[in-house]
Amino acid sequence: MNIIQKIKLNNYRCHDVFELDCNRPTTLIIGENGSGKTSVLEAIYLALRGKSFRAVDRDIVLHESDFYRAEIDLYDAKKVIIRYDAKNDKKSFEIDGKKSIRLPKKDRYPVVLFEPNNIYLIESSPSRRRDYFDELFKQINNNYSVALSRYNKAIKQRNDLLKQEELSRDDLFSWDVLCAQYGSELKKIRIDIIDKINQKMSNNYREIAKNNDECRIEYTGEKVDENKYLAELNRNFERDRILGYTTFGAHRDDYKFCFNGNDADGSASRGEMRSIILALKFIEAEILESETGKAPVVLLDDIFSELDEMRQKHLVKNFRNYQMIITSTNIPTNMTANMNL
C-alpha cells in the first residue's frame, strides 16, 4: 500500500506550483542538479516527521514570497497540510481539518532517508554520527526525543555556568542531576538499539558483498545508572571548570564502525564502506517496521550517483516491499520516471 498518494507544493523553495501523483510503489523524479528534486523529498519528510531534514522554515520559502504551503495526500484519504507564514514566522499543521502548531506524535510516520552524504558517515565527525543516530532513535523510541531535548537543555545550562569565574560544585548540582537522569536514559536506549542493529549487521553486509567479512557498530559510551553518571560529573568538576564545558556525558559519545575487528575508517575500502552503510539502511527499515508496526516510506535522494550497478540492484531489491520515492539526474537501469523536472 502506498502511504504517499499525492503531493502539492506552493512557494516551496524553487517550486511556485508543483504537483506529483505517487501512484506506483516506486516513484522516480528525474532532473538536473538544482531543479528542486530534493525539495519534494523534504516536503514529504516534513509531512511525515514534522520537521525538515535540512533547513529552517524561513529558508524554505520561495524567494520574495511570504508563505509556503505543502499538501500531502496519504493513505485512507488522510490529508496533511503544512502552512508557513514568513511575516510572522509561524507554521501550522492541518490533519483532516484539525490544526496544530506541531505534528502530533500519533500522526508521525517512519521514514528511511538515504542521502549522498550518508555514504561518508563512517569517515565523518563524531557530532555528525551522533546527529545521524539521534534522528533514527527518535523514530524508534518515543522516549528518546524527550530525553534528548531535556538533556541538551541541561547541558547548555551547565556549560553556561562553567564559563563563570566564580563557581562551586553546589552551583551545578541541580543541572548535574538532570544531566545524569536524562543522559543515563539516552545511553541505555542507544546501547539497546545498537545491539539490535549489530545482530543483523554482518549478515546483511555479507548478502551485499558476497563474502564472510564481519562488521559492527561500537557505541563508545558505557551504560551507567544515574548515581554513577552523577559521580562521574562530580569527578570531572575541576577539569570542566578549567575548560569551560562538560567533558563527560552522552553528548560526547560516538559510534565507531568496525570492519573485521578494526576501525572501518582506515581498514575498509571505499566500496566496503558503501556496502556497510547499505547494510545499515536495510536494517533501519526492518527495525522501524518492527518497532512501530508501520512499513516506513523510503526516500532516496540522488543516491544512485554514489553506487555502482551491483549496489543499486541490492538497494532496489531490499526496499522492494516499501514505498520508494527516488530522485536522480538520470534514469537508472530498468526504471522509468514518474516526473521529469
State residue 249's pLDDT score: 97
Percent of the chain with pLDDT over 70: 97
Q: What is the mean pLDDT of residues 157-173?
A: 94
CA distances from 294 to 1, 14, 22, 52, 310 (A): 11, 32, 19, 21, 28
Is a pLDDT exceeding 80 seen at residue 335? no
Direct distance between the N- and C-terminal alpha carbons of the chain, in angstroms, rounded to an integer: 26
Assigned C-alpha cell, 43: 516536503
Kindly calculate the radius of gyration of the chain based on its CA atoms and give it in whole angstroms. Answer: 22
Read off the pTM. 0.93
DSSP code for 223? P
Is a pLDDT exceeding 90 seen at residue 262? yes
What CATH homologous superfamily does 120-274 map to? RecF/RecN/SMC, N-terminal domain (1.20.1050.90)
CATH 3.40.50.300 maps onto the chain at: 4-109+298-340
State residue 15's pLDDT score: 96
- Whether 31 and 45 have beta carbons less than 8 Å apart is answered as no
CATH 1.20.1050.90 maps onto the chain at: 120-274
Mean pLDDT check: name the lowest of 101-110, 185-194, 201-210, 330-339. 330-339
CATH class for the domain made up of 4-109+298-340: alpha beta
- Whether 70 and 57 have beta carbons less than 8 Å apart is answered as no
Give CA–CA dist 177/285, Å, rounded.
35
pLDDT, one tens digit per residue, over 216-260 is 999 999 889 999 999 999 999 999 999 999 999 999 999 999 999
pLDDT, one tens digit per residue, over 273-305 is 999 999 999 999 999 999 999 999 999 999 988
pLDDT, one tens digit per residue, over 299-325 is 999 998 888 889 998 998 999 999 999
C-alpha triplet 165, 167, 169: angle, nearest 5°: 155
